């Protein structure tokens, strides 16, 4: 069974397209693409939980008012981990909801931007399902589900597609 930890350790794994195993450069490229998507999408979906990952450095910056609300601001930097270790984030945690509802970032190349985060509740688990930038662009995480269990076959049998999960 493939795990993210295996890939992070030795960049290995298997790639299947339409049930057929790929090899060589094409497989390595698709595996690397899948890993980059996993890293990026998990930050967009559940960023506050990622704060505790190895190599994430947290610094409490203080409070800041945005409109009528007061936020606790937490700075995140990264110690040689992830795909963009030179990025810096400022996470705005609502003192009312205790959710990170605004995010400002500076990328390693100096690019700055911000996004507002909107959450859904999935069996008591709050996940950021929609994000809106100041220009109105959105990043939506699509159909999000929290399942009590998943048949191991979805992770071991290349013929079973995750889209078939019920």
φ/ψ of 10, rounded to 5, equals: -135, 10
Tell me which residue has tokens 């060589």. 24
From CA 62, how far away is CA 101, in angstroms rounded?
16
Mean pLDDT of 37-60: 89
Average pLDDT, the chain: 87
Q: Where are the domains of the chain?
A: 4-149
pLDDT digits (tens, 9 = 90+) for 119-166: 999 988 999 999 999 999 999 999 888 888 888 887 788 777 767 776
SS3 category, 69: strand
- Strands of the 69-78 sheet, one edge to the other: 56-66, 69-78, 88-94, 100-106, 112-122, 125-132, 138-140
Q: What is the pTM of this model?
A: 0.81
């Amino acid at each position: 069974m493939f795990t993210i930890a295996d890939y992070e350790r030795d960049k290995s794994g298997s790639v299947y397209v339409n049930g057929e195993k790929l090899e060589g450069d094409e497989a390595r490229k698709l595996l690397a693409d899948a890993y980059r998507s996993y890293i990026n999408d998990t930050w967009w979906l559940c960023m506050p939980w990622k704060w505790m990952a190895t190599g994430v450095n947290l610094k409490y910056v203080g409070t800041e008012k945005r409109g009528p609300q007061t936020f606790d601001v937490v700075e995140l930097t990264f110690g040689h981990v992830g795909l963009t270790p030179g990025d810096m984030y400022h996470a705005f945690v609502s003192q009312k909801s205790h959710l990170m509802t605004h995010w400002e970032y500076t990328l390693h190349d100096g690019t700055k931007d911000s996004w507002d985060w909107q959450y859904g509740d999935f069996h008591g688990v709050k996940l950021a399902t929609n994000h809106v930038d100041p220009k109105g662009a959105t990043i939506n995480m699509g159909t999000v589900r929290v399942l009590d269990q998943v048949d191991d076959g979805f992770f071991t049998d290349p013929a079973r597609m995750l889209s078939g999960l019920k």
